[in-house]
Amino acid sequence: MATSIEPVPAQSVPPKTADLSVGLSIYRRLLPFLKPHTWRLVGAMLTNIGAALLDAFSVALLIPFLNTLFDRPALDIKAGWVSGLLHATVGQLMVEGDKMTSLRNVILVVLLVVVAKNLLVWISGQFGAELQEFVTRDLRNTVYKHLARLPLTYFTKTKSGQIISRVLNDTFETRLVLTQIVTQSLQAIALVGATIAFLFDISWKLTVISLGIVPILSLVLQPLLRKLRRGNRRRGNQHGEMASVLQETVSGIRLVKSFGAEGFEERRFTDASDTYARTTVRLSKLSYLAPPVTEVIGMLIAVTVLWIGARQVLIDKSLTGADLITFLVFVLRLLQPLKQLTSVRTTAQSSLASAERLFDILDTPSEQERDSGTLSVSRFTRDIRFDNVGFAYEVAGNHHRASVLDGVSFDAARGDVIALVGASGAGKTTLVDLIPRFYEPTSGVISLDGVDTRDVTLESLRSLIGIVSQDTVLFHDSVRNNLAYGSADKYTDAEIETAARAANAHGFISALPEGYGTLLGERGTRLSGGQRQRIAIARALLLDPPILILDEATSALDTESERLVQAAIDTLLEGRTVFVIAHRLSTVQNATTILVLDKGRIVERGTHDELRARSGVYSRLYDMQFRSPQSAESVRGITPVPSFG
């Protein structure tokens, strides 16, 4: 599985530089999700900046207020452009000789500025809320769209709980690193910038001293941020483990109850939950360190500024008392946005860790990206041929492959029924999975009408193939939509009913409370196993594929259900090329060719009668299953072999 981030050797890149590089790389990859919402982004930026400027200006209005209060000229200020700004805005409102009127006018201006600032804050919140939700939606949809197109190998290697956690939880966490920059940190940055501008104009010396907080905070908090980043990625994986246990318990609740394993599953879940909780607590303790550290350092700076500023007022006479008080108010107001920025940085570590987990999915090439096929086929006319086909799985955590198929060769002409039999693990399911290219052969060629299937596009190849498996998948939807799965608008009600009748399913469907409109429940729990199989067969009939794969379609059914399902299968087989993996032998006996697999190789092939006459592997398997009186003697002393499938 490809990943977005390659590990960097510690000796070549310092950890701090590597973390910064990784963070910037992830953030650049997330930026395209903001592009469709540029106008919301611009609106939030402008309103945030406007609110920050008005907030700083409201503090600057303290200067004329304090000067008037202390019986000094209202606009007596040592600063440059701040003095000009105050003259332009409140200069005409200062009434010489009437302190109370001047104070009232300044207070009214302050109220007006504060109201305007909060109006902009509210508007910014609206933009920010829309930005957060729509970016989350787009990110979630993109991940799901890509996930649905990943190859089957990804799902066999990744727990379903991990996948669910990434699609739902990690997309929510990731959006924070994008949208908080607008809704929180941008406003804080604008406020810090505006405040620093005012501070420099009042006293550049005191401002330089005050800004000593920034490098100090960076040095103090950097190790903390690195720990948070690594911890949050670990916590995300632990959340996935917890979700996996929950998903497995819910989906297998019948088995849990039948084995009385509630206590066992409870321990599994509580262990996973406890691990997640402990990690979360550790990360919370780390993240809660940042704001108090920021405030303590900030207060030390403020006390230092107060002492030096007092000297400038009382001894150097380079500042007025109003200037110093206003400067101190600005410095104290600076602490809150700095704390907010620190908090955003800690939150960003969690978001970036979640983003890394999402890019683990997005960086895994989809089937379409891997697909080398360029030919589009619309029909199947001649045959499917396996020519010395081999397949091996990659062994997790190792560099070698485990062989499953080796040197498989056979032809399946149009209209043939090819039965695959053999012990469990012989490679039957893997063989049929190679036909629709769920997996690619590691050697040899599979051809369709003389064309290598790897040269055929996946979409057109799979449009020719229908699959009915033992584990029938039904969705929490109506019977009609389950029958016409993925193409509900393509078929008429009459066509759907015709397919259901041919599959011996119309009778029980009609008996349901709302007929074809009845909701089946999750995984079709309202139906029996035989009924679910007949729904699957009707679905395949409706698709009408020229190639059909039956993977143990009659396995684990009672006699009556098997009779009805087998009758439906007989209808389904007509005029198609069929590959059958059979647990019971009704279909196998009538197959055009039976292939007997053992350890990934074809050890026998022929019709039922031919293979019985040879008294080989197939014959022994057949006798073991039926245990006829005539065959009892012949199987004595033979080690039992698992039945077909």
Mean pLDDT, rounded, for 318-339: 74
As annotated, the residues of the chain forming the CATH 3.40.50.300 domain(s) are: 383-635
Say yes or no to pLDDT of 268 above 50. Answer: yes
DSSP symbol at 316: I
Q: In 363-466, which residue ranges form alpha helices assigned H by DSSP?
A: 367-370, 428-433, 458-462
Return the H-helix or E-strand segment holding 481: helix 479-483
Rg of the chain taking only CA atoms, in angstroms: 36
Q: For position 131, what pLDDT does the model report?
A: 84
Q: Please give the Cα distance from 483 to 480 (Å, whole number).
A: 5
pLDDT grade for 251, boundaries at 50, 70 and 90: low
Q: For position 126, what pLDDT does the model report?
A: 86
Q: For position 630, what pLDDT does the model report?
A: 44
Total Cβ atoms within 10 A of residue 160 = 14
Instruction: Encode pLDDT of 497-522 as tens digits.
Output: 888 888 888 888 888 888 888 887 76
The region of weakest confidence among 218-232, 311-325, 462-476 is 218-232
Instruction: Encode pLDDT of 341-389 as tens digits.
Output: 766 766 677 778 788 888 888 888 888 888 888 898 888 989 999 999 9
Task: Give the pair of three-digit tokens for residue 296.
Answer: 């303590």
Helix (H, G, I), strand (E, B), or coil: what is residue 520?
coil
φ, ψ (nearest 5 deg) of residue 583: -90, -40
pTM for the whole thing? 0.69
Which of 122-131, 211-220, 267-276 is modeled with the greatest confidence?
122-131
Q: What share of the chain is helix, strand, coil (3-state, %, to 5)?
A: 65, 10, 25
Mean pLDDT, rounded, for 420-429: 86
Say yes or no to pLDDT of 258 above 70. Answer: no
Say yes or no to pLDDT of 113 above 80. Answer: yes
Q: Please give the Cα distance from 395 to 378 (Å, whole number).
A: 36
Categorise residue 183: left if φ over 0, alpha if ψ from -120 to 50, beta otherwise. alpha
Question: Which residue has better confidence, 640 or 138?
Answer: 138
Closest CA to 417 of 158, 224, 631, 590: 590
Q: Please give the Cα distance from 622 to 615 (Å, whole number).
A: 10
Q: Please give the Cα distance from 488 to 478 (Å, whole number).
A: 11
> What percent of the chain stands above pLDDT 90?
10
Mean pLDDT, rounded, for 401-421: 89
Question: Which residue has better confidence, 249 or 624?
Answer: 624
Say yes or no to pLDDT of 102 above 80. Answer: no
Instruction: Encode pLDDT of 144-167 as tens digits.
Output: 888 888 888 888 787 777 788 788
The region of weakest confidence among 57-61, 493-497, 552-556 is 552-556
Say yes or no to pLDDT of 632 above 60. Answer: no
Q: Between vectors from CA 25 to CA 21 and to CA 27, what angle results, nearest 5°?
A: 120
Q: For position 408, what pLDDT does the model report?
A: 93
pLDDT grade for 537, boundaries at 50, 70 and 90: confident
Average pLDDT, the chain: 76
Q: Please give the Cα distance from 439 to 320 (Å, whole number).
A: 80
Instruction: Encode pLDDT of 8-65 as tens digits.
Output: 333 344 444 445 565 677 778 888 888 888 888 888 888 888 888 888 777 777 777 7
The region of weakest confidence among 123-137, 472-486, 628-642 is 628-642
Mean pLDDT, rounded, for 261-284: 77
Q: How many helices (H) and strands (E) does the chain have?
A: 27, 10
Q: In 504-616, which residue ranges form alpha helices assigned H by DSSP?
A: 506-510, 529-543, 559-573, 586-589, 608-614
Say yes or no to pLDDT of 254 above 80. Answer: no
Q: For position 451, what pLDDT does the model report?
A: 92
pLDDT grade for 528, boundaries at 50, 70 and 90: confident
Strands 593-598 and 417-422, how do they pair?
Answer: parallel
As annotated, the residues of the chain forming the CATH 1.20.1560.10 domain(s) are: 15-367
Q: Could you please state the CATH topology (level 3) that the domain comprising 15-367 is classified under.
A: ABC transporter transmembrane region fold (1.20.1560)
Half-sphere exposure at residue 563, Cβ-oriented, CA atoms within 13 angstroms:
2
pLDDT grade for 643, boundaries at 50, 70 and 90: very low
Return the H-helix or E-strand segment holding 57: helix 38-60
Q: For position 557, what pLDDT does the model report?
A: 56
Q: For position 449, what pLDDT does the model report?
A: 92
Q: For position 409, what pLDDT does the model report?
A: 94
Which of 250-264, 304-318, 628-642 is modeled with the greatest confidence?
304-318
Say yes or no to pLDDT of 586 above 60. Answer: no
CATH superfamily for 383-635 is: P-loop containing nucleotide triphosphate hydrolases (3.40.50.300)
The region of weakest confidence among 48-62, 241-255, 295-309 is 241-255
> What percent of the chain stands above pLDDT 70?
74
**Residue 106: alpha-carbon gap to chain centroid:** 54
Q: Please give the Cα distance from 537 to 423 (Å, whole number).
A: 25
CA dist 374 to 21, 122, 434, 464, 490, Å?
A: 39, 54, 18, 16, 26
Q: For position 453, what pLDDT does the model report?
A: 92
